[in-house]
Amino acid sequence: MDELIKNLVEAYGPSGFEDNIRRIINDEIASFADEISIDSMGNLIALKKGDGSGLSVMVAAHMDEIGIMTTHITENGFLRFTNIGGVRPQTLMGSRIQFSDGTTGVIYTEKMDSWNGLHGQDKHYIDVGATSKELCPVGVGWAASFVRPFADIGGRYISKSMDDRIGCAVGVESLRRISEVGTTPHDIFFVFSVQEEVGTRGAQTAANALKVDVGIALDVTLTGDTPEAETMAVDLGAGPAIKVKDSGMISHAGLVRQMRSRAEERNIPYQMEVLERGSTDARSIQIAGAGCAAGCISIPCRYVHTQSEMVDANDVENTVQLLVEILSNPITL
């Protein structure tokens, strides 16, 4: 799975421009899924058929990552930009970015009164090495992702866009393991969704179309285990986090109970998650159509929405195991 994770996190795929990620995942799952389709939003939907005794389940992991989009080119060939998703000004200065055609640029900031200060995003610009507007290789409305290679620092993985390529990798690996066993009670739709970072838009249309009984999002969550961190009862390496509540949804209590008992039966370490800021595709899935029983299994992640998001290898493996247990057995809500 490490090779897949590296390929996924290093690939280019800001919200609305997920083509590369869709291609990588499609190649990976082509031999495991019973049916694969791509909807008009760009969601990649892989169906693993059940034996007819279970429910219909949507498992969602988002393919997109945060990034930037150019808004204006100066006479000297510098670019102004807006954010795609939750990009913080603290993460910008000195950052390297890449456009879909491979053009690379660096972000810097206007002069500051003190180096302790911080300008807002609007006072930053991109330098792509151009000397004039005419010679600038990038136009207005071009999207870029950050550039940062994958590293394994002893069982902990760091890279850009762990949010949520790590969820995609968990989805791919779970589908592979379920198809190797051969049977599941449930019709499982693995949805690799688009545009989560700009408001869970892909999952919304997919859930409206699929009309499932159960929805499970796979995404990262914050941890509370770093110096002077915000209080949060999630630690890196302590197992997948079963979401109870975040700022966009309250998980279905029966589904949460079911997730916990599967973890306990199989001695899979887990933790309970209450996230006070942020949400996931589960929010959209829960309230699509007439609604469904929705929840989320989160992979603990430090430094979310920076270019060095960190996850623990054991958490990743345990998330796969927990998801496979849930999906391979009857779900009683």
**Which residue number, 257 or 277, has a Cβ lying nearer to Zn ion?**
277
- Contacting residue, 18, 65, 187, 219, with Zn ion by CB under 5 A: 219
In the complex, minimum distance from the CB of residue 157 to Zn ion, in angstroms, rounded to a whole number = 16
**Which residue number, 307 or 328, has a Cβ lying nearer to Zn ion?**
307
Give the per-residue SS3 of 70-110. EEEECCCCEEEEEEECCCCHHHCCCCEEEECCCCEEEEEEC
In the complex, minimum distance from the CB of residue 21 to Zn ion, in angstroms, rounded to a whole number = 13
Query: Residue with the closest Cβ to Co ion?
Result: 163
Residue 219 interacting partner from Zn ion, Co ion, none (CB closer than 5 to 8 Å by kind): Zn ion
First to last CA, the chain: 31
Stretch that binds Co ion, among 28-36, 114-122, 156-164, 320-328 (CB under 5 A): 156-164
**Which residue number, 263 or 311, has a Cβ lying nearer to Co ion?**
311
Identify residue 203 by its one-letter amino acid code.
A
Interface with Co ion, residue 163, by CB under 5 A: yes
Query: Residue with the closest Cβ to Zn ion?
Result: 164
Indicate which residues carry an active-site annotation.
196
Identify residue 322 by its one-letter amino acid code.
L
Stretch that binds Co ion, among 137-145, 160-168, 210-218, 287-295 (CB under 5 A): 160-168
How are beta strands 271-274 and 241-245 bridged, if at all? parallel
Q: How many whole angstroms separate alpha carbon 307 and alpha carbon 305?
A: 7
In the complex, minimum distance from the CB of residue 223 to Co ion, in angstroms, rounded to a whole number = 14
The closest alpha carbon to 219, from 178, 269, 278, belongs to 278
Geometric angle at alpha carbon 32, from 193 and 36, rounded to 5°: 45
Question: Helix 162-181 vs helix 313-328: angle between axes, to the nearest 10 degrees?
Answer: 40
- Contacting residue, 28, 64, 65, 164, with Zn ion by CB under 5 A: 164
In the complex, minimum distance from the CB of residue 305 to Co ion, in angstroms, rounded to a whole number = 6
Stretch that binds Co ion, among 9-17, 157-165, 279-287, 324-332 (CB under 5 A): 157-165
Q: How many whole angstroms separate alpha carbon 299 and alpha carbon 222?
A: 9
The closest alpha carbon to 23, from 143, 161, 192, belongs to 192
The answer to whether 247 and 225 are in contact (CB under 8 A) is no
In the complex, minimum distance from the CB of residue 88 to Zn ion, in angstroms, rounded to a whole number = 15
**Which residue number, 124 or 160, has a Cβ lying nearer to Co ion?**
160
Interface with Co ion, residue 281, by CB under 5 A: no
Total site size for Zn ion, rule CB under 5 A: 3
| Contact positions vs Zn ion (CB under 5 A) | 163-164, 219
